[in-house]
């Protein structure tokens, strides 16, 4: 299954991230982490999307293009009273990871940062920019978002799953 979105301003791409984050928070915890792989062109809007995504998760810190940082962890604040009613107290995601593979050359560099542990914790939401660079170590079922530059202000974002 694939869904396509066209956005015509950075704000729209952020909004899409925010909406999808709120959907993510509603999903039941699974065996491993909820993983989003972001692929595609430089300037495609991956970091912009994650700024909105972080906002949707209730993260107050700013999401930057982590030029020198490969992995950053943010705390997801507790469930709102409404979410507790819906999902039961004690459930829910705890950590949000922002990983950027732009500077890595081999998947091993990510594995050395404890990647396997990070993706095996069901309470983690893990987002990965330049996910195509670590394709080999991404589990089947990873949500893949592909970002394409259409023109200066237009981006095409295709959502699917890794087989």
Angle between helices 10-26 and 46-56 (to 10 degrees): 50
The item of Mg ion, ligand ADP, none sharing an interface with residue 8, based on CB under 5 to 8 Å by kind, is ligand ADP
Residues 46-75 touching Mg ion, rule: CB under 5 A, are 46-47, 65
SS3 34: strand
* Residue 52 binds ligand ADP (CB under 6 A): no
Min separation Cβ 158 and ligand ADP, Å: 14
State which residue has the least CB distance to Mg ion: 47
The item of ligand ADP, Mg ion, none sharing an interface with residue 44, based on CB under 5 to 8 Å by kind, is ligand ADP
With contacts defined by CB under 6 A, name the span among 24-32, 41-49, 88-96, 135-143 that binds ligand ADP: 41-49
The item of ligand ADP, Mg ion, none sharing an interface with residue 10, based on CB under 5 to 8 Å by kind, is ligand ADP
CB 51 within 8 A of CB 59: no
CB 111 within 8 A of CB 80: no
Phi and psi at residue 117, to the nearest 5°: -65, -45
Written as one string, the DSSP assignment of 45-105 is SHHHHHHHHHHHTT--SPP---SS-SEEEEEPPPPPHHHHHHH-TT-S--EEEEEE-TT-S
The binding site for Mg ion (CB under 5 A) comprises 46-47, 65, 129
Residues that bind ligand ADP (CB under 6 A): 7-10, 12-13, 42-48, 65, 129, 147, 153-155
């Amino acid at each position: 299954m694939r869904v396509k979105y066209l956005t015509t301003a950075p704000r729209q791409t952020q909004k899409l991230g925010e909406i999808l984050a709120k959907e993510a928070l509603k999903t039941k915890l699974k065996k491993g982490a909820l993983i989003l792989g972001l692929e595609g062109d430089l300037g495609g809007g991956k970091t912009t999307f994650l700024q909105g995504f972080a906002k949707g998760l209730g993260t107050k810190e700013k999401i930057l293009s982590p030029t020198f940082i490969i992995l950053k962890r943010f705390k997801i604040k507790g469930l709102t009273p409404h979410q507790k009613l819906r999902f039961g107290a004690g459930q829910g995601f705890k950590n949000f990871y922002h990983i950027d593979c732009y500077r890595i050359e081999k998947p091993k560099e990510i594995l050395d940062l404890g990647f396997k542990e990070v993706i095996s914790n069901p309470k983690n939401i893990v987002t990965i920019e330049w996910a195509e660079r670590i394709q080999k170590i991404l589990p089947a079922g990873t949500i893949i978002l592909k970002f394409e530059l259409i023109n200066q202000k237009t981006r095409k974002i295709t959502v699917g799953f890794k087989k």
